[in-house]
Amino acid sequence: VGTIEFYLDVANGIITSLRIFGDFFGSKDLRELESGFSGVSHTKESVREVFERRAYRSYFGDVDLDDLVNAMF
């Protein structure tokens, strides 16, 4: 895995949009993952739950979940 960049729009503590960019190779379309964050509270717990529900390794490969969560804050 190379770099992963998250661009978030957050209003009143709620994620309204998310775009993900980077040089990594996943087997799924990132738009599916990005849309899963819309309407989610911008808390580490909520973000972690979305990554877990969406099988984040299918998008990013062997990336540490804590690193992904922390990158969004």
| Cβ neighbour number for residue 38 with a 10 Å cutoff | 13
Cβ(19)–Cβ(9) below 8 Å: no
Q: What is the pLDDT of residue 27?
A: 73
Q: Is the pLDDT of residue 46 over 70?
A: yes
Q: Round to whole Å and give the CA distance between 22 and 44.
A: 21
Q: What is the pLDDT of residue 26?
A: 75
pTM of the full predicted structure?
A: 0.88
Give residue 24's pLDDT band: very low, low, confident or very high (50, 70, 90).
confident
Cα angle at 48 between 45 and 54, to 5 degrees?
140
Select 4-71's CATH number: 3.40.640.10, 3.40.50.720, 3.30.390.50, 3.40.710.10.
3.30.390.50
